[in-house]
Amino acid sequence: MTTTDRNLQLFERAKALIPGGVNSPVRAFRAVGGTPRFVQRAQGAYFWDANDQRYIDYIGSWGPMILGHGHPAVVEAVQKAVLEGFSYGAPTEREVELAEAIIRLVPSIDMVRLVSSGTEAGMSAIRLARGATGRKKIIKFEGCYHGHADALLVKAGSGLATFGNPTSAGVPPEVVQHTIVLEYNNLEQLEAAFTEHGPEVACLMIEPIAGNMNFVRASVPFMKRCRELCTQHGALLAFDEVMTGFRVALGGAQSVYARLIPGFEPDMTVMGKVIGGGMPLAAFGAKRAVMEQLAPLGGVYQAGTLSGNPVATACGLATLKEISKPGFYEALSATTRSLVEGLKGAAAAEGVALSGDSEGGMFGFFLFDELPQNYAKVMTTDGPRFNHLFHGLLDRGVYIAPALYEAGFVSAAHTAQDIADTVAAARDVFKTLPR
Ligand SMILES: *Cc1c(COP(=O)(O)O)cnc(C)c1O
């Protein structure tokens, strides 16, 4: 059998060589079915697949491409850096500059360490929290993703506030025995967990606006209580801002909550995605007393051959410079809001129930009336209906996440015309969406 579909040809080749044909599971389209699009090139708000088909890109590498693809200032900075060498394994001025930029923009951070992925940053932050507090237990929430470190691949066990069960083969139950998994936005479970385990909790890690269960905000009373209970019990409040950092606002989700809760600050912050501008770069930071527990100053070991890579830091710095310009987030937020409002309007016009929300350049929408508060509710989305919508949009040149539990991302390169085209495509698909 012959085919002229280059995506399909590449997928067949890839599947023989790479498990599932992909280097990160969600790319395989297994939730939605069909052939993954192999990207040939990208520019601005678009990418082109192996058949030279253009798509309006609402993934942006899962968040990093906040300026759109191939921003000229970023390309120039990377080209210049490449000529100076790819990696040295010795310190550089750009690492200092990037640390200064992060600390200036995120006031809760006194010191920062650069690493190469969000997983590495989250894993290291937990080791540091345990080392700094001398405690073992960590609290996480169902539906929040903090990378694929063993201790975090865990779902709630049966019963209230119990210890979790591994969500991956290869993770022995002993490895997750100190991880407590609670329902997001559930105050009762939060209180019960601290009542029972408070003095043993090293840190509570949370996605403040959860983007790995589509888009779910921590409620203000819930976040306030997380802060109070951590302070009261001497546990560190760790914000996983790998997705939200420099994405929902220049100061991250913590700046959004600081506007709603006077004096609010997390104790630790984990960052990734946007700070690398599309290059492998992530970071974790905290107050000085905590960060000084890290090697070589303290007893908590952490290291990386490519950490603070000179090309990645050039890309990150150039990206931070662009997003720091006055009015950047106002414009980005307005574009993102216009997309969500447009989708709501198109759905209403076609009698389709749809709710949606956004902050800065991050958004989510659901095929039911009310915004969900937790993972269980998100997962009540009708899978086949979502898949119909996904493929309908894909056929019309609009690329959203190929899974209903993922957030969407708008870049500064998305124009009003792109949004209008997207909304028109969505309205067209809504007409045939199964009720
Ligand atoms: C993407 C993500 C991670 C993991 O980052 P990687 O760079 O993929 O390892 C961790 N936490 C959150 C909130 C994320 O969105």
E strands present in 209-346: 209-210, 216-217, 236-241, 268-271, 282-286
Across 343-354, average pLDDT: 98
pTM as predicted:
0.97
**Annotated catalytic residue: which of 58, 137, 257, 273?**
273
CATH superfamily placement of domain 6-70+326-432: Aspartate Aminotransferase, domain 1 (3.90.1150.10)
Which among 59, 69, 66, 74 is positioned nearest to 329, based on CA atoms? 66
| pLDDT of residue 157 exceeding 90 | no
| Fold adopted by 72-323 | Aspartate Aminotransferase; domain 2 (3.40.640)
Across 242-258, average pLDDT: 98
Q: What is the pLDDT of residue 2?
A: 59
**Annotated catalytic residue: which of 58, 137, 184, 240?**
240
| pLDDT of residue 160 exceeding 60 | no
Q: How far is the CA of 243 from the centre of ligand 1 (A)?
A: 7
At 10, is the pLDDT very low, low, confident or very high (cuts 50, 70, 90)? Answer: very high
| pLDDT of residue 361 exceeding 70 | yes
Q: Greatest CA span in the chain, whole angstroms?
A: 67
Helix (H, G, I), strand (E, B) or coil at 356: strand
Q: How far is the CA of 119 from the centre of ligand 1 (A)?
A: 6
Kindly state if the Cβ of 145 falls inside 6 Å of ligand 1: yes
267 a catalytic residue: no
Q: How far is the CA of 362 from the centre of ligand 1 (A)?
A: 15
- Give the C-alpha separation, 422 to 54, whole Å: 13
Sole residue written with tokens 């969000």: 118
- Rounded mean pLDDT of the chain? 96
377 a catalytic residue: no
Kindly state if the Cβ of 146 falls inside 6 Å of ligand 1: yes
| pLDDT of residue 77 exceeding 50 | yes
Kindly state if the Cβ of 117 falls inside 6 Å of ligand 1: yes
| pLDDT of residue 41 exceeding 80 | yes
- Give the C-alpha separation, 7 to 313, whole Å: 33
Domain range summary for the chain, segments of one domain joined by +: 6-70+326-432, 72-323
Nearest atom in ligand 1 to the alpha carbon of residue 241 is 13
- Give the C-alpha separation, 345 to 396, whole Å: 19
106 Rama class: left (phi>0) / alpha (psi -120 to 50) / beta: beta
5 a catalytic residue: no
Q: How far is the CA of 114 from the centre of ligand 1 (A)?
A: 14
H or E segment at 8?
Answer: helix 6-17
Kindly state if the Cβ of 118 falls inside 6 Å of ligand 1: yes
Q: How far is the CA of 204 from the centre of ligand 1 (A)?
A: 17
| pLDDT of residue 161 exceeding 60 | no
- Give the C-alpha separation, 380 to 213, whole Å: 12
Q: What is the pLDDT of residue 3?
A: 72
